[in-house]
Structure 1
Amino acid sequence: MTSTTDARTDPRTEPTRRGGAADTTRQAVVLVTSLLAIVAAFIGSGAVGGTPIQDAAGGWLDADSTLVAPARPAFGVWSVIYTGMLAYAIWQVLPAQRTSARHRRIGYAVAASLVLNAVWIGVVQLDLLWLSLPVIVILVAVLAWLFVQLRRMPPNGAVDAFVTDGSIGLYLGWVIVATAANATAVLQAAGFEGWGLPAEAWAIGVISAAALVGIALAIWGRGRIAPALSLSWGLAWVAVGRLTDEPSSPATGIAAAVAAGVVLLVTLVARVASIRSARDDRQAGAAGRA
């Protein structure tokens, strides 16, 4: 039996308290930072005076800069991610969500991820490519922490699952691919020559690492679909870039395509296993009550 103390400290069973100034402040911070991220994205696109990301920082983040760079259409996923994060910001600001233990737990971390995203765009705009790497590494760490919290605290209904888990999951999956591409660009810009190993070997290694992270998320997350979708999307566009554009590398392209497929397959298997496990638990519970 769970003790009274445990019930108070377990965020999944935290009693709902009446919302106060702290909750209102948190909700406002998340909403404002989501708008900040969208403004920064417009600047990064070059639409409002900034330099397009593909042209900033010496062009090292363009689709043809490294073997791990996704083809340009891949970056359209940012529109979906920004829309999702704005939807989350609006969802969590609703009065009914003010005292949600889940939003209390993740709110400021979500805001931090959005600020980090804007900072990343800012340092790239300033041509500080080297600084973009630690920023995006911190960003992926924050998103991974959020993924863990969402896994531990089940959603409060279908809307919460779609808006909260879906948006943050897509964000995480894509940033994993972006981190791999960013790290590769920084190393090449710094003159790293691969310690004698072929560039394709390094590229396949980086792609494999990203895929392994995706597989780990699939297994631990019991088949959460959103991270797998955006991660596989990014890897698939790496494959397209290497098979149809420069720098051409059939081996890298095939490896990226295989990696994308494996991440999706493992996620689907984990999802089916999770559904079956939940069904078996329900049936066992019903049998125990009979």
Structure 2
Amino acid sequence: MKRRLVTGAYAAFILLGLGWAGWAALSTAGLETIAGGWLGPDATVTSVPRLGQLPWFALMIAVAFYAIWQAVAAQRGMLHRSLRPWVLAAVLCNALWVSFLERDRIGASLAFGIMLLAVLVRVVVMIAKSQLLQQVDRWITRASFGLFTGWLSVIVLVEAVAFCAVSGADSSTLMFKGACALAVLLLALFLCAMSFKNPLGIYLNAGALWVISAIIVDRYTGHANSPAFATVLSVAAVLMCACLFSAVRTRIRALLARRDSQLPPSSQ
């Protein structure tokens, strides 16, 4: 009984934290009014359009679903119990990240965004080192935090670029744009490697690829278009897609081979 109360209270705190973050996001007038507009559309070459921002709401729903899922008696396990303080920390950092951004304090928001990314990386490492017995649990746990971490990695990078612009860096110079392109390309190469080295690498890749693809389309078609920057990001996106499809194919083959090896000889 006591364990059920603890688990239920934990899920309630997660939902409250996600609700706080959702309220802060919905009450924001718009990114165009924050940090001098440096987070708005076409403010810098890395500006994320609305399409790239929308997954945040879906990710909040996914984390909320995970909080409810792990509270079910049959799904409680050592991994989920060890994840609780880290998930709570992630939810708190997420709420503070959005709240400070809503209050036009991009420096504090960036600090909590980096903290959130660090906590999510820790969660991803813990999940990757554990064996999730049920297929449904694998999808829920890995997808919730893997996609969130991949998506956030690009978003934090974009916010760091905006913070540099707010701090006085000239975002129109070739050096600034080149540094941004190099940063995105290095992140893409890292995620390409993770697609094969980590069980959650596929989700990390997919989450980041969504944002990068949205930026590419906007840089080709937006008001402040930058074809050269979009071309560099397109190279990164092609590499990520190739690694993503290859990793998915390798994973499917491994799962099929494992399933066949577990079948009795009479059924093979």
TM-score, normalized by length of structure 2?
Answer: 0.87
Change (3 A) 1:157 1:66: same
Q: Which runs of 5+ in 1 are unaligned?
A: 1-18
**Structure 2 Cα separation of the partners of residues 26 and 112 of structure 1:** 16
Give the secondary-structure state (helix, strand or coil) at the position aligned to 2:168: coil
Equivalent of 2:146, from 166, 169, 177? Answer: 169
**Structure 1 Cα separation of the partners of residues 18 and 98 of structure 2:** 9
User: Cα offset for 1:158?
Assistant: 1.7
User: Cα offset for 1:226?
Assistant: 2.1
Q: In 2, are the aligned partners of 1:223 and 1:274 still within 8 Å (CA)?
A: no
1:212 aligns with 2:189: yes
**Structure 2 Cα separation of the partners of residues 87 and 199 of structure 1:** 40
Q: In 2, are the aligned partners of 1:30 and 1:108 still within 8 Å (CA)?
A: no
Q: Deviations 1:14-36 (Å, cap 9, x if unpaired)?
A: xxxxx854x74355234422332
User: Cα offset for 1:252?
Assistant: 1.2
Equivalent of 1:76, from 54, 69, 93? Answer: 54
Q: In 2, are the aligned partners of 1:231 and 1:260 still within 8 Å (CA)?
A: no
1:268 aligns with 2:249: no
Q: Which position in structure 1 is the counterpart of 2:111? A: 134
Q: In 2, are the aligned partners of 1:143 and 1:172 still within 8 Å (CA)?
A: yes
Equivalent of 2:18, from 34, 37, 42? Answer: 37
Q: Which position in structure 1 is the counterpart of 2:64? A: 86
Q: Which position in structure 2 is the counterpart of 1:258? A: 235
Q: In 1, are the aligned partners of 2:147 and 2:206 still within 8 Å (CA)?
A: yes
Q: Supply the AA of the counterpart residue of 1:59.
A: G
Q: Which runs of 5+ in 2 are unaligned?
A: 264-268
- 1:189-200 alignment runs, 5 A limit: 189-193=166-170, 198-200=175-177
Change (3 A) 1:210 1:38: farther
- 1:172-191 alignment runs, 5 A limit: 172-191=149-168
Q: Which position in structure 1 is the counterpart of 2:128? A: 151
Q: Deviations 1:13-64 (Å, cap 9, x if unpaired)?
A: xxxxxx854x743552344223322332232223xxx433442232222222
**Structure 2 Cα separation of the partners of residues 223 and 160 of structure 1:** 13
**Structure 2 Cα separation of the partners of residues 128 and 183 of structure 1:** 13
Equivalent of 2:205, from 228, 234, 244? Answer: 228
**Structure 1 Cα separation of the partners of residues 32 and 202 of structure 2:** 29
Change (3 A) 1:113 1:54: farther
RMSD: 2.6
Question: How many residues were matched structurally?
Answer: 263
Q: In 1, are the aligned partners of 2:94 and 2:116 still within 8 Å (CA)?
A: yes
Change (3 A) 1:65 1:29: farther
Q: What is the identity percentage for the equivalent residue pairs of Structure 1 and Structure 2?
A: 25
**Structure 1 Cα separation of the partners of residues 40 and 207 of structure 2:** 19
1:67 aligns with 2:48: no
Q: Which position in structure 2 is the counterpart of 1:13? A: none
TM-score, normalized by length of structure 1?
Answer: 0.81
Give the secondary-structure state (helix, strand or coil) at the position aligned to 2:45: coil
Q: Which position in structure 1 is the counterpart of 2:266? A: none
Q: Which position in structure 2 is the counterpart of 1:55? A: 33
